[in-house]
């Protein structure tokens, strides 16, 4: 998505049009592409500059007037078929990317004004990814949302459930009670509690954990909070996990004890396992939780995104494992959330207000269902921020389907680093270096790798061997020529002074040339390299 970053708002034309831009010099080489000028708002030259030449004849542009059928019948039939085909292709392209005449005009006018196009890069991922990208305290803090500063006690608040809250301030004689309006929050409007880098810097200067800020962002000020978009895959996984966990929690409450309770639990497990075999197979199953003395139902196995769609179907045995009231509420919550997912996957034109209505209804149904009294951060995002993402972004582009493994590897690398709070990017790189260092069992190999990292010279081992051999030869020749050298010392005293001065100048020139060829980062960047003993991994230190 490309638009001017300095502007606070962006025309809708840029959001839909700037998907692909073909420069005027890059003339299309496909002879089968013929575009018809259906738009009265653009001239032929402007349209050709955007989507290529109209006809395939090189060097000379053909006329739009067709030849008489009596002269060239086959040629005109072929041309008419080509025009109809290309016209359908152009209309299909317009329908696919929602392109209009005003959108084409917006592209042309934008290119006329400037050739420098600012590219805004957005980030997409799950909530845990955003926690360490922006340096937040995480879900255990009082402000668990990564997009706003809503308190954890008020995550359930939406536009339909805003209220006035009495808050006590001060101590002793200065103690007073004021009324604060608790309303919905936004991910882009700072007036509605949206996070910002400026707010983060001011909070870190006063208190580390104020408003859920823990440290500086991983990429400093390169990305704003508005540049991050929720990943719909992990949102779907986590919300379905919460719903299933609450269903199993209620299903484990039988009101009986001992063997009677165990018999009811085993019967419910049998019903659930039969449903699993019919929908997702035996990769996911249920059994009694051995760690819980209350004999509750626990799930085992992984239920990925597409398997959840197969698992939560209309034939799910709500009434067989839950009471009538809870079963009806759980079915309603699941169906409401599935409506949201269908709206997000809809490929047609966005209908304003539909997703917002569904999101508010889902949070309301979840709160009234009685499955749990609290609201998770993902459910809070559905009720406050999801429809904003859908309005200002193409939220389907931020689905992480197929790259979950890379996300997990990055998360483990971050949280396994030594001190991620102070300098996370540096500690992540150090962790990778130490993992590489552990692959070298020989201490000489580790030293060689460290020397290569500092100098960039890969053949230093052979050079050291050649220097060692030359030193051995010099020591062996020295005793035999000792007498000859003593006899010629007096004769060469006069010439040695001149040769020494010449050799010093030559050696100085050689060292300067050698230093210029060696890759020395400490000289290029002005950062002194610490001795090897201070940088070593703890398990590799010399005793």
Q: What is the DSSP string of 150-162?
A: --GGGTT--TTS-
Q: Are 434 and 446 in contact (CB under 8 A)?
A: no
Give the residue-averaged pLDDT of 450-473. 56
Average pLDDT over all residues of the chain: 73
Q: Is the pLDDT of residue 542 over 70?
A: no
Q: Looking at the DSSP assignment, which residues form a beta bridge with residue 182?
A: 163
pLDDT band for position 539 (cuts 50, 70, 90): very low
Q: What is the pTM of this model?
A: 0.58
Per-residue pLDDT at 24: 40
Mean pLDDT is lowest, of 246-250, 310-314, 416-420, 501-505, for 501-505
Q: Is the pLDDT of residue 379 over 90?
A: yes
User: What is the C-alpha radius of gyration for the chain, rounded to an integer number of angstroms?
Assistant: 35
Greater model confidence, 507 or 113: 113
Q: How far is CA 33 from CA 27, 30, 39, 48, in A?
A: 11, 6, 18, 12
Q: Are 137 and 213 in contact (CB under 8 A)?
A: yes
- The C-alpha atoms of residue 298 and residue 468 are separated, in whole angstroms, by 67
Q: Is the pLDDT of residue 21 over 60?
A: no
Distance of CA 288 to the CA centre of its chain: 37
Q: Which of 66-75, 281-290, 455-464, 500-509 reaches the highest mean pLDDT?
A: 281-290
In terms of Cα–Cα distance, which of 150, 152, 146 is closest to 226? 146
Q: Which of 44-53, 318-327, 447-456 reaches the highest mean pLDDT?
A: 318-327
Give the residue-averaged pLDDT of 112-137. 79
């Amino acid at each position: 998505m490309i638009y001017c970053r300095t502007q606070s708002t962006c025309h809708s034309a840029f959001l839909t049009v700037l998907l692909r831009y073909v420069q005027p010099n890059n003339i299309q080489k496909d002879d089968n592409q013929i575009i018809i000028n259906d738009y009265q708002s653009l001239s032929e030259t402007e349209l050709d500059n955007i989507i290529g030449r109209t006809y395939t004849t090189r060097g000379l542009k053909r006329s739009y007037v067709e030849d008489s059928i009596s002269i060239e019948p086959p040629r005109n039939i072929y041309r008419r078929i080509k025009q109809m085909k290309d016209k359908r292709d152009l209309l299909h392209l317009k329908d696919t990317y929602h392109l209009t005449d005003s959108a084409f005009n917006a592209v042309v006018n934008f290119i006329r004004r400037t050739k420098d196009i600012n590219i805004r890069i957005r980030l997409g991922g799950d909530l845990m990814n955003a926690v360490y990208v922006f340096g937040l305290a995480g879900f255990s803090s009082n402000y668990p949302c990564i997009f706003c500063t809503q308190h954890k006690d008020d995550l359930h608040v939406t536009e339909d459930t805003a209220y006035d809250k009495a808050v006590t301030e001060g101590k002793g004689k200065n103690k007073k009670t004021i009324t604060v309006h608790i309303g919905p929050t936004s991910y882009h409007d700072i007036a509605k509690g949206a996070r910002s880098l400026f707010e983060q810097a001011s909070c870190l200067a006063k208190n580390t954990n104020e408003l859920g800020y823990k440290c500086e962002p991983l990429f400093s000020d390169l990305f704003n909070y508005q540049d991050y978009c929720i990943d719909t895959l992990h949102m779907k996984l986590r919300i379905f996990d919460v719903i299933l966990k609450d269903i199993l929690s209620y299903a484990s409450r039988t009101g009986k004890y001992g063997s009677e309770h165990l018999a009811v639990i085993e019967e419910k497990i049998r019903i659930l396992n039969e449903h699993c075999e019919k929908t997702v197979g035996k990769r996911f199953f249920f059994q009694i939780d051995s760690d819980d003395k209350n004999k509750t139902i626990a799930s085992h196995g992984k239920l990925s995104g597409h398997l959840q769609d197969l698992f939560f179907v209309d034939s799910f045995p709500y009434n067989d494992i839950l009471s009538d009231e809870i079963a009806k509420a759980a079915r309603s919550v699941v169906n409401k959330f599935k409506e949201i997912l269908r709206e997000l996957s809809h490929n047609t034109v966005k209908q304003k207000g539909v997703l917002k209505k569904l999101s508010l209804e889902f949070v309301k149904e979840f709160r009234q269902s009685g499955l749990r009294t609290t609201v998770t951060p993902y459910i809070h995002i559905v009720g406050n921020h999801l429809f904003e993402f859908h309005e200002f972004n193409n939220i389907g582009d931020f689905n992480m389907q197929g790259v979950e493994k890379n996300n997990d590897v990055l998360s483990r690398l971050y949280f396994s680093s030594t001190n991620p709070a102070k300098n996370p990017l540096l500690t992540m790189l150090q962790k990778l270096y130490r993992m590489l260092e552990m692959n070298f069992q020989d201490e000489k190999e580790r030293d060689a790798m460290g020397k290569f990292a500092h100098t960039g010279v890969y053949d230093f081992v052979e050079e050291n061997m050649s220097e060692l051999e030359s030193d051995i030869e010099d020591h062996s020749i020295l005793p035999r020529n000792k007498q000859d050298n003593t006899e010629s010392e007096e004769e060469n005293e006069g010439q040695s002074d001149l040769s020494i001065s010449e050799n010093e100048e030559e050696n100085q020139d050689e060292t300067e040339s050698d230093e210029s060829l060696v890759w020395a980062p400490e000289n290029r960047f002005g950062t002194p390299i610490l001795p090897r003993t201070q940088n070593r991994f703890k398990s590799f230190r010399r005793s």
